[in-house]
Amino acid sequence: MAVQLAVFDLDGTVTRHDTFLPYLRGWLQRHPERHGTRRMAPPIARFLFGERDRGRLKSDLIRCSMAGATRSQVDDWSRVFVEGLADDMLCPGALDAIARHRRAGDRLVLLSASVDLYVPRIGARLGFDETICTGVAWRDGLLDGTLTTPNRRGAEKLRCIEALRTRFPGLPVTAFANSGSDLVHLRVVEQPLLVNATARVRRAARRLGIPVDDWCNK
């Protein structure tokens, strides 16, 4: 079989659940003096009842909880967080698919809307060739929290897929993801698979001719 680009979403696809909020909660447990939980209420309320900008919410939550942290502090926590992802937090079907594509010699890409404070470490742990995720800014060696890239979700994931096609012309793309927003890019790749999705998203995928599977109960 010809070499492919094998593109995996992270949260809910490779992992059973979201990783971003647990990452922030763990940080605040280690740094209770920041009172970040209380500071998160206004941006969450703004998102729920006003501006539905997920990228801004992500940036605001990082700034509320982690702004001003040093690189060594963030690196230490990110290492602990990723090392603490036990095997039962990962979907068996995802691990099987990663291993299968690695054996085939495919280029493994982790494409996630979560942030580059920790996602590249997960990619390295699982043997991905590269990671594409949402970037976060630093200022003078301290974490700022402003996003340096678009939030890698929905149409932005499609743009990332097209950029990969430009870099690796002629390689077919196999993509795995779990949410309704991922249908935007799943519908244009050669071999899509929707996994671990809700019943509503599964129905939408089937209408588009996208196959579905459950990776968490393999």
What are 1-40's pLDDT values in tens digits? 579 999 999 999 999 999 999 999 999 999 887 665 667 7
SS3 12: coil
Under-50 pLDDT residues of the chain: none
What ranges in the chain are assigned the alpha helix state H?
A: 20-30, 36-49, 54-66, 71-83, 92-103, 119-126, 155-167, 183-186, 199-207
Whole-number Å distance between alpha carbons of 133 and 46: 24
Query: What CATH number labels 5-213?
Result: 3.40.50.1000
- At 42 the pLDDT is 73
Share of residues in the chain with pLDDT > 90 (%): 86
The reported pLDDT for the residue numbered 33 is 77
- Own/partner pairs for 157-162, CB < 8 Å, 24+ apart? 157/111, 157/113, 157/181, 157/182, 157/184, 157/185, 158/184, 158/185, 158/188, 160/111, 160/132, 160/185, 161/7, 161/111, 161/185, 161/188, 161/189
Inter-CA distances, 90 with 76, 85, 164, 218, Å:
22, 8, 26, 11
**What is the CA 99 to chain-centroid distance, rounded?**
19
Joined together, the tokens standing for residue 218 give: 């393999």
Average pLDDT, the chain: 93
Element (H, E) at 113: strand 107-115
- Segments making up each domain of the chain, as ranges: 5-213
Q: Model pTM greater than 0.85?
A: yes
